Amino acid sequence: MNVLDTFKLDGKTAVVTGGGGLYGRQVVEAVAEAGAKTFAAGFTMQKEEKTAEKLRSAGWDVTAVQYDQGSEESIQALLDTVVKQAGRVDVLVNNAVVRPMKSWDSPTEDFIKSMKVNATGLYLMTRLFGNHMAERGGGSIVNIGSIHGMIAPDFTLYEGLGWGAPPDYFFHKGGMLQLTRYAASTLGPMGVRVNVISPGGFFNHQEDIFVQRYNKRTLLGRMADETDLKGAVVFLASDASSYVTGANLVVDAGYTVK
Ligand SMILES: NC(=O)c1ccc[n+]([C@@H]2O[C@H](COP(=O)([O-])OP(=O)(O)OC[C@H]3O[C@@H](n4cnc5c(N)ncnc54)[C@H](O)[C@@H]3O)[C@@H](O)[C@H]2O)c1
């Protein structure tokens, strides 16, 4: 088989959570362009509908679907809906995130809200969809982590800006690395691969001073754009990575090695 054919997702079904967000849009685009019947799952839906509509008009098979990652019933309903419509799930990209905390001293309630979706919800997504894939004899789960799951915050980046790096984010992104390894170990014998991608910061028109500081911290001198994650996602979702599981693919322009 030609190596390029191993990257194709033709005939497969993919679910991307947070499919209308900053990174989510390009993740949906990537798996759809690779040939998957794609479900862009989201909470509030306007952005997911917009992403799905745009890609459908370009000829790709994309459907928006609502769910709440803070509810086990809703996660089960998402799986049931996709299986009803497509027969199965071959690829899950856990990309959704909620960011209730602002700083170290944010209300405890915000930490709990974060964990409900970003920790418990992530575990349930991985368990329910992973078990479904295991029953079918295979699949690929790609978790979207962050460099902030790997390193300490650099608060100098945010000096004078009034926003920054909240603790819950570092906590659940760090946990995601270990959940990925645990799930890879549990589901590997049933043919399900589980990997994590740790991206760096996405350029979203942040203050010039922040962007300048951030760019200097990378080896390539820039933040991520609307295509930078696509290749990594398709690689891990497809048979191109058939011997890769439990891995952390860092996509950060060298931020974490500097
Ligand atoms: N933006 C960055 O600079 C950056 C950097 C590194 C990693 N990441 C990671 O990339 C992923 C996407 O981040 P983003 O910045 O594009 O996110 P975003 O805030 O733009 O989008 C978040 C998405 O999550 C969904 N969501 C929120 N709460 C939900 C719930 N309860 N149930 C279901 N869906 C829910 C929303 O519908 C939305 O589509 C995240 O995992 C994030 O940690 C982002």
Buried b / exposed e over 112-129, threshold 16 CB at 10 Å, is ebbbbbbbbbbbbbbbbb
Instruction: Say what the pLDDT of residue 98 is.
Output: 98
pLDDT at 124: 99
Q: Which pLDDT band holds residue 108 (cuts at 50, 70, 90)?
A: very high
The pLDDT value given to residue 43: 97
* Cβ atoms of 24 and 40 closer than 8 Å: yes
> Per-residue pLDDT averaged across 167-194, rounded?
98
What percentage of the chain exceeds 90 in pLDDT? Answer: 100
Atom of ligand 1 nearest to the CA of 201: 3
Q: With a 6 A CB cut-off, is 98 part of the ligand 1 pocket? A: yes
Residue 130 beta carbon below 6 angstroms from any ligand 1 atom:
no
Nearest CA-CA partner of 18 in 77, 78, 93: 93
pLDDT of residue 104: 97
The residue whose CA is least distant from atom 35 of ligand 1 is: 43
Rounded distance from Cα 200 to ligand 1 centre (Å): 13
214 lines ligand 1 (CB under 6 A): no
Q: How far apart are CA 228 and CA 250, in angstroms?
A: 12
Ligand 1 atom with the smallest distance to the CA of 96 is 24
> Is residue 110 in contact with ligand 1, taking CB distance under 6 Å?
no
Is the distance from the beta carbon of residue 202 to the nearest atom of ligand 1 less than 6 Å?
yes
Instruction: Identify the band that residue 13 occupies on the pLDDT scale cut at 50, 70 and 90.
Output: very high
DSSP state letter for 104: T
Predicted local confidence at residue 160, as pLDDT? 97
User: How far from each other are the two terminal CA atoms of the chain, in whole angstroms?
Assistant: 38
- Confidence band, pLDDT 50/70/90 cuts, at residue 53: very high
Percent of the chain with pLDDT over 70: 100
To test the pocket of ligand 1, the residue of 97, 148, 180 to mutate (highest count of ligand atoms within 8 Å of its CB) is: 97
CA of 144 to the centre of ligand 1 (A): 9
CA of 22 to the centre of ligand 1 (A): 7
Dihedral sign from CA coordinates of 137, 9, 149, 127: negative
255 within ligand 1 shell (Cβ under 6 A): no
User: Ligand 1 centroid vs 202 CA: distance in angstroms?
Assistant: 11
Output the domain CATH number for residue 99.
Answer: 3.40.50.720
Taking alpha carbons only, the member of 199, 176, 177, 48 closest to residue 117 is 176
Tally the domains of the chain: 1
Burial 3-36 (b: 16+ CB within 10 A, else e): eeeebbbeebbbbbbbbbbebbbbbbbbbbbbbb
- Predicted confidence band of residue 49 (pLDDT cuts 50, 70, 90): very high
Which residues are catalytic, by number?
A: 169
Q: What is the pTM of this model?
A: 0.98
Could you tell me the residue range of the domain that residue 57 belongs to? Answer: 3-257
Residue among 15, 17, 22 whose CB has most ligand 1 atoms within 8 A, to mutate: 22
**What's the confidence (pLDDT) of residue 188?**
98
Question: Residue 3 — pLDDT band, cuts 50, 70, 90?
Answer: very high
Among candidates 48, 52, 26, 90, which has minimal Cα distance to 230?
26
Distance 2 CA to ligand 1 centre (A): 34
78 token code pair:
């998402």
